[in-house]
Amino acid sequence: MDGYVYAHILRILNYLECQCLTMDHLQQELTKIESETHLSKNHILEVLYKLEEYGYVLRAYGKSDTSYHITTKGKNLMARIKKNTSLQKLGENGIIPFKSKS
């Protein structure tokens, strides 16, 4: 993932680091999750799909629900972002400069 990592990606990864996200939980607690991440449901899902595509998030299928979990690669990405920049250094457009090694 070259170029920039958007601030909302970091918010989603931070949320997933604290707890997994199930689709049932997302529907039941949508207002709370939206306020914690400052994102709409559509943005949350879009970010989750992109993070999954790059291997930062894992989608797990259970008997009754689908859940998302942060992977080791996702934790490493968070650590690199936090080490290189802080949320106070966000640009006007809300992006964090980040160069990928992969």
User: What is the C-alpha to C-alpha distance for residues 76 and 6, in angstroms, rounded to an integer?
Assistant: 16
Residue 2: strand, helix, or coil: coil
Task: Supply the pLDDT for residue 58.
Answer: 92
Where residue 73 falls among pLDDT bands split at 50, 70, 90? Answer: very high
pLDDT tens-digit readout, 17-43? 888 888 888 888 888 878 877 778 888
pTM metric for this prediction: 0.68
A 10 A CB-CB count for 97 gives: 13
CATH of 4-97, one of 3.40.50.720, 3.40.50.300, 3.40.640.10, 1.10.10.10: 1.10.10.10
Q: So where are the chain's domains? A: 4-97
Query: Residue 100 above 70 pLDDT?
Result: no
